[in-house]
Chain A
Amino acid sequence: MDFNSILSIGENALQLGLISSLTVLALFLSYTMLNVCDLSTDGCFTLGATVGAVVAIAGHPGLSIVAAMAAGIVSGFVVAFLQTKMGINSLLAGIIVNTGLYSVNIAVMGNSSLLNMNKTETVFTLLKEKLKGTVLEKEYTLIIALVAVALVVVFLSFFLKTKLGLAIRATGNNPDMVRSSSINPVFTTIVGLCVANSFTALSGCLLAQSQKSVNIDIGTGMVTVALASLLIGGVFMGKGKIPVRAVGVVLGSIVFRIVYAIALRFDMPAYMLKLISSVIVIIAISAPYIKSQLPAIKRRISLARGKGAA
C-alpha cells in the first residue's frame, strides 16, 4: 500500500465521518441531552437523502438542503407528537415512524428505490466548479462537510445555552423537576426532536449528494452507527462544556470511520460495518453496568472457591 492510497483512504474516511457526524450531533441532542432514543433516525436520514435528491434533480441544488432539513423537522415533529400527545412509548413512536417512512421515501423517489444524480447539479458540483483551477480543487466534498459540521456545532453550542436549550436539557436530565416547573415538557421534547431530526436529514442529504446517488437502504443501521460514534466521542471528551463535547462527538464519528477503513484494508468484508457498530454500542453501554456488578461477581466466585476447598 503506497502513501497516496493511504491518504485517499484517510480522506474518504474523513469525509464520511464528517457527513455522518451530523447524525451523531443529532443524537447528541436527542439521546444525550433530551434522553430520548430516537429510533426514527434511519428513516429520517433516508428521508433527507430522498427529498434532497428529488429537489436537486428538479434543478434546485441550494433549495434541496433546505427541503431536506424541513422534511427532517416534520419527521421529528411526528415522532415527538406521538410520544407526548398520543401516549405512545418513545421507542415505539420512533419505530412506527421509521417503518412509515420507508413507504414515504419510496413515494418521494417516485415509486423507485434508487435515484441517480450523476448529471445533477448539487451543492458539491457547484463548489467544484467554483474551485476549478485552485489548490483546493479536489477538496470540495471535504469543505462542504466541514462547513456544515462547523455550523451545526456552533449552533448547538449557542442553542443549548439559551433558555430553551437549558429547558430541553432539564427535560432530559430530570423529568420530575420539569413536570412540576413552569417548563412544558411537551414543548421542549417537540422542539428538541425537530431540531435533531433536521440535522439527521441534512446528514442524509449531503451523503446522497456527495456520492451522487440515493437508494432506499442509505440510512439502514444509521442509528447504531451514530450511537457507536457518539459513545466513542464520549470516551474522548465526555465531560466539560457543551462545545467541547460536541467537537468530541464529531471526532468520535471520524475515528469510527477511520478505524473502519483500516479494518477494511485488513480484508474485513464491508458488510461487517453494522455488526461492528452494534458490538461497539453494546460494549460502551454495558461496560459501566458490568463494572458496577464486578465486586458482587468477584465475591460470588471467591465464595464458590472457598466452598470447593472446604
Chain B
Amino acid sequence: MLKMTGVSKTFNPGTVNAKTALSDLSLHVNKGDFITIIGANGAGKSTLFNAIAGSFMTDSGNIILDGKDITLMPEHKRAKSIGRLFQDPMRGSAPGMSIEENMALAAGHGGWLSSVSRKDKELFRERLALLEMGLEDRMKQPVGLLSGGQRQALTLMMATFHPPKLLLLDEHTAALDPGTAEKVLELTKTIVAENKLTCLMITHNMQSALDLGNRTFMMNNGSIVYDVQGEERNNLTVSDLLQKFKESVGKELDNDRMLLSE
C-alpha cells in the first residue's frame, strides 16, 4: 500500500541549524495495516507524516502509494487519497462556515459549480448521527461553536467521508480531555475497522500504542528503530517497550508526555 525507500530530509541544510529529520528511512505498509508510532521528542514522527502527505518535498528517496509514485506530487493532489488529522482540533475544519458547508467541502463530489443537494444533506445527517454528538441537528451552525472534541470528531468524519487509501493520525486525541479523547479514539477504531482503512497513528500513550492496531513502529533520529507485529507484539508490555527503546537507542526514552501519561 505505502512504500518508502531511502527517504531523507534535512532542514536548513548547510547552516548551523541543519537538522536531519528523516535519515534514509524505508518502510512498507501493507493494505489494512493499523500502525501505531511512538518515539521520543523530535524523533521525526510528524516529519514522516509531512513527507507522506507532501507538506514538503523530500531530499531523496521514493514514496509509492498504492502502486503510484507520489514522491513529487503536490500536497493537495495527495490529499485526495490521504486523510489527515492533527493534534490541534482547530486545524481540520473552517470555524466560520457551518457544519453542513464543512461536510460539503469534504464530500466534494460534482463539478466546481455544483452545490449541496437535498440528498447530500440527508447523507451528511446520517453520517453525523454516527458520531452520537447531536451534530446532525446543528447543521446550520458555524463550526466555531463546537467544542474541541466535537470538532475533532467532525474532522475525523470529514477525513474519512470518502474512505482514503491512507489515514494519518498525528496524536489526534492528545489535546482533548480524557473522556472526549476516549470517545474520539473509539470512533477512530470503529471507522477504521468498518472501512478497512490503512492507518498510521502517532501516539504518546504507550499502552494504546500496544492496544490499538496490528503493528507498532518506534522511531528515533529520523529512522524506524523497531518494527513489531504479530505474536511478538501481542506479548509485549509497556516496560518491554521502554526496555526495547533503551536497547536500540542507548538511552532512556525522554518523551516527558509519554512517561507522564502512564
Contacts and interface: CB of A to CB of B under 8 A. Distances in A.
A270 interface: no
Interface in A134-186: 158, 161-164, 166-167, 169-170, 173-174, 176-177, 179-185
Contacts of A182: 76-77, 79-80, 108
Given A180-B75, A183-B76, A163 B91 contact: no
Contacts of B112: 162-164
Interface residues of B, number: 30
B108 A169 contact: no
Interface stretch (B113-121, B206-214, B217-225): B113-121
Interface string B94-115: 1111000110110010111111
A193 B115 CA distance: 21
A181 B105 contact: yes
Contacts of A180: 53, 55, 75, 79, 84, 86, 91
A300 to B, nearest CB: 31
B114 A163 contact: yes
A179 B53 CA distance: 11
B interface secondary structure, majority: loop
B94 A170 contact: yes
Contacts of A179: 55, 75-76
Contacts of A174: 90-91, 93-95
Contacts of A161: 115-116
B39 interface: no
Q: Interface SS of chain A: helix, strand, loop or mixed?
A: helix
Contacts of A166: 97, 101, 104-105
A180 B111 CA distance: 21
B114 A162 contact: yes
Given A163-B110, A166-B101, A181 B79 contact: yes
Contacts of B108: 163, 182
Measured as residues with beta carbon below 8 angstroms from the partner, the interface class of chain A is: 20 to 34
A177 B94 contact: yes
Given A170-B97, A174-B94, A184 B76 contact: yes
Contact of B97 (A164, A173, A183): A173
A184 B55 CA distance: 13
A163 to B, nearest CB: 5
Interface in A180-199: 180-185
B44 interface: no
Contact of A162 (B53, B77, B93, B113): B113
A163 B115 contact: yes
B163 interface: no
A169 B101 CA distance: 10
Nearest to B144: A173
A177 B104 contact: no
B92 interface: yes
B114 A177 contact: no
A177 B97 contact: no
A166 B113 CA distance: 10
Contacts of A184: 74, 76
A163 B97 contact: no
Interface in A118-132: none
Given A170-B105, A173-B94, A162 B115 contact: yes
Interface in B55-80: 55, 74-77, 79-80
A45 to B, nearest CB: 27
Interface in A213-270: none
Contacts of A163: 104-105, 108, 110-115
Contacts of A173: 94-97
Nearest to B86: A180
Contacts of B96: 169, 173
A182 B92 CA distance: 12
A162, A164, A185: most-surrounded residue (chain B CB, <10 A)? A162
A96 to B, nearest CB: 26
B93 A177 contact: yes
Interface of A: 158, 161-164, 166-167, 169-170, 173-174, 176-177, 179-185
7 contacts: A162-B114, A163-B113, A167-B105, A170-B105, A173-B95, A177-B91, A179-B75
Interface of B: 53, 55, 74-77, 79-80, 84, 86, 90-97, 101-102, 104-105, 108, 110-116
Closest 6 CB pairs of A and B: A182-B79, A173-B94, A164-B112, A184-B76, A174-B94, A173-B96
